[in-house]
Amino acid sequence: MALNIQQMVDVIYGAAEEKKARDIVVLDIGDVSVICDYFVICSGSTNTQVKAIAENVEKKMEECGHQPKRREGMREGNWILLDYGDVVVHIFREEERHFYNLERLWGDAEVVQTSAGN
């Protein structure tokens, strides 16, 4: 079952929530970047939790027929990136998230609500 972009965001958001991800933010960067349409950014308190969040996102997306085009950081578990083309997922340990501060870096992007998060 191929998902549209909003459904992808909702599945990713829900998968992150299931593993108790903190501060899940969805940024619509489509108007400010050609990288992708959305960033989903969230945090875990430990490397183990960060990896568990990433694994659950991959599992839920795979169940919907989507494989990441690229994945980075799984071994270390400090900052894991899952690239689904139109949606890129950033899962940080809290310290790394504060250090890199993608929300500030992409400050021109609109923060959007998802049906999964409301």
Per-residue pLDDT at 37: 93
Within a domain: 118: no
- Structural domain including 38 reads 5-112
Phi, psi (degrees; rounded to nearest 5) at 64: -95, 5
Is residue 98 domain-resident?
Answer: yes
Judge whether 73 and 89 are in contact, CB under 8 Å.
no
pTM of the model: 0.91
pLDDT at 116: 60
Residue 115 pLDDT > 90, yes or no?
no
The CATH number given to whatever domain includes residue 82 is 3.30.460.10
Residue 76 lies in a domain: yes
> In this model, does residue 118 exceed pLDDT 50?
no
In a domain, 101, yes or no: yes
Average pLDDT, the chain: 92
- Residue 82 inside a domain? The answer is yes
Over range 23-39, report the average pLDDT: 91
57, part of any domain: yes
**37 is a domain residue:** yes
Say if 117 falls within a structural domain.
no
The three-class DSSP label of residue 7 is helix
Structural domains counted in the chain: 1
Q: What are the tens digits of pLDDT across the range 55-108?
A: 999 999 999 999 999 999 999 999 999 999 999 999 999 999 999 998 888 877
